Structure 1
Amino acid sequence: MKYKNKIQHNQSCKECKERIFELLTNVYGDVEKQYKLGILTNLKHYEENKRYSDMEKIFNCLTNERGHENFIKKPNLSPVDYYIKNETDKSKEFILEFDESQHFTNLRKVALENYPSSLNLGFDKEKWISLCESLNRHDNDPIFRDEQRAWYDTLRDFAPSILEIAPTVRLFASDYIWCELDVGNENDLKKFKNIVEMKIKHGNSYYCE
């Protein structure tokens, strides 16, 4: 694969997002964009879940960081970027998120640092923490937006343990010029599939550079 200068490429490129959908469909078949998981956003709904104490710890850390407590403004989690289905084995289904720079905030770092080591992830947590430190984005409209985004991303990462599916995969928008990948090129398809599969299998021990 050949790539343009990453600095010159708009990470919000709509073509990149569409290309990822095309690649996922080519590799996995049944893929849905903007898929509603049916996950609730309020912590109290998870009191009987085995992950409740972990989620409560993260939520409390987020609220304590800047004192913003009322950042949950809707009952249901907004749709995930992509949902990959598997008709024969639900445990192989997974969420794939395309993370642009606005997701890498100090509040996201706070959440990630409090993830339990037992939580399976489809991305390298340490790399994501490092990106939070280096990019250090802020969104104060509304004033609690960083807490809100960090909590919703946390729910997407915990969703597999709730839904009993494979770990949530995250792609960093600036890792590649994704729109330059050619769906008709066998090498590009293999490369893309390898990136996704390695993230699912190795999570915290896999860096995608």
Structure 2
Amino acid sequence: MAKQLDYHTIREIFTRFQAVDPEPKGELEHVNAYTLVVAVALSAQATDVGVNKATRELFKIADTPEKMLALGEEGVIEHIKTIGLYRNKAKNVIKLSQILVDQYGGEVPNSRAALESLPGVGRKTANVVLNMWWGHPSQAVDTHIFRVGNRTGICPGKDVVAVERAIEDHIPVDFQHHAHHWLILHGRYTCVARKPKCGVCVIRDLCPFEDKTV
């Protein structure tokens, strides 16, 4: 775990991220808040590419909790069976859809506590939805962010909650909204797990990682 970087270095890092990609976007396809919740819940232990392939047709026929309930658990399974843990995920999609209809009038709530109470929705999913749909500066820490945060010293922490707190505490406010997208994309495409692509990294000179690749 690298030592926490100072404020000025972090500001320069995010200034560079912003220059390369001013409006970073999440890669999960969705058409509304409900399909975003479902897509993020399905993405646990699965790739965004795999989830998008499965949900592209699903969301054409079931883009509201009411339509998903009409499709039923077996109908959901038919669409998402290429995704890992699909049976349990289909069960959760139906359960959370029923709760949204019964308790929230079919609308997705915009509070973290309410979102986390939904089956299959954890803190990370709630933070993604709050950030991407309602523009909250919430930080969804996944394996990419955890790795990048600790490797670079941008937001080190012993667990995902500690990394989330480090983002909130140390990344300048004007970069908070897009912070987790920049970090995810950096970890997904440049600062990869086994052989980070340090040779093409825009923050190479600012990064304290000792085992940089050529």
Structure whose residues are more often strand by fraction: 1
Larger radius of gyration: 2
Q: TM-score, normalised by structure 1?
A: 0.29
Of structures 1 and 2, the one scoring higher in RCO (CA 8 A, sep 6+) is 1
Structure whose residues are more often helix by fraction: 2
Q: TM-score, normalised by structure 2?
A: 0.28
